[in-house]
Amino acid sequence: DQQVKQNSPSLSVQEGRISILNCDYTNSMFDYFLWYKKYPAEGPTFLISISSIKDKNEDGRFTVFLNKSAKHLSLHIVPSQPGDSAVYFCAARRSMDDKIIFGKGTRLHILP
Amino acid sequence: ETGVTQSPTHLIKTRGQQVTLRCSSQSGHNTVSWYQQALGQGPQFIFQYYREEENGRGNFPPRFSGLQFPNYSSELNVNALELDDSALYLCASSLRTGTMGYTFGSGTRLTVV
């Protein structure tokens, strides 16, 4: 049972343009949503999060949007840079038990 | 402030053997979670430890077991290794009451032959 779904295994975006990574979830008990970035041979690193009571959170070039009624969130990266090429994992947690559930990831390629 | 460190970084074992993976938590973190990441998949939750007690378990058989020590470091033990256990094993530490995400180690790449 995949509670967090990332339906696009990969995405290619031109440098300087906007990258949009999408994520859907099924469990309405999640109260935080997170995005992690992973380079090869490294562990995932925390990028940005959003509480379920908000619909937008922005941090520099990264913005996460949450649509609770659609159980959908997205990560926007603008402008995209070569160093953004990595695998991005969408994740969700319930603060009541501190566990984080991950999606399968989307590999982002930033093209020169 | 040190991050999360895992050892060893790579390991090759034979089917049927046992393995112990180790993790040192980030300073100040009291919760450790272990994840298995198979090739092309997202990290799958194995179990979590909080103050030396298991605090939840994913869909993994009992041959996957763990420990958390008073200094919050942790071990993951896998008995009777199977070929499908080949994966990247990630340890992550966090604060039990924190609202931010985990801090992950770089993982141990286990290959079972």
**Average pLDDT of the residues of chain B:** 91
Integer Cα distance of B20 and B7 in angstroms: 9
**A46 and B43: CB-CB below 8 Å?**
no
Which among B42, B45, B92 has the least Cβ separation from residue A105?
B42
Q: How confident is the model at residue A22 (pLDDT cuts 50, 70, 90)?
A: very high
- Token pair, residue B56, equals 């939840």
- Average of pLDDT values for A40-51? 91
Q: Can you spell out the DSSP letters for B17-55?
A: --EEEEEEPPTT--EEEEEEE-TTS--EEEEEEETTEEE
Q: How confident is the model at residue B100 (pLDDT cuts 50, 70, 90)?
A: low
Integer Cα distance of A73 and A22 in angstroms: 6
**A41 and B56: CB-CB below 8 Å?**
no
**A46 and B103: CB-CB below 8 Å?**
yes
B residues 28..57 contacting A (CB < 8 A): 31, 33, 35, 40-45, 48, 50, 55-56
Q: How far is A1 from chain B (nearest CA, A)?
A: 11
Region of poorest pLDDT, from A30-34, A88-92, A97-101, B71-75 = A97-101
Q: Is A9 left (phi over 0), alpha (psi -120 to 50) or beta?
A: alpha
Q: How far is A4 from chain B (nearest CA, A)?
A: 10
Residue A105: how many other CB atoms lie within 10 Å: 25
Residue of A28, A25, A91, A93 whose CA lies nearest to B97: A93
Best A37, A57, A98, A107 member to test B by mutation, with max B CBs in 10 Å, is A98
Q: How confident is the model at residue A41 (pLDDT cuts 50, 70, 90)?
A: confident
* pLDDT in the model for residue B99: 54
Which among A89, A98, A100 has the least Cβ separation from residue B96?
A98
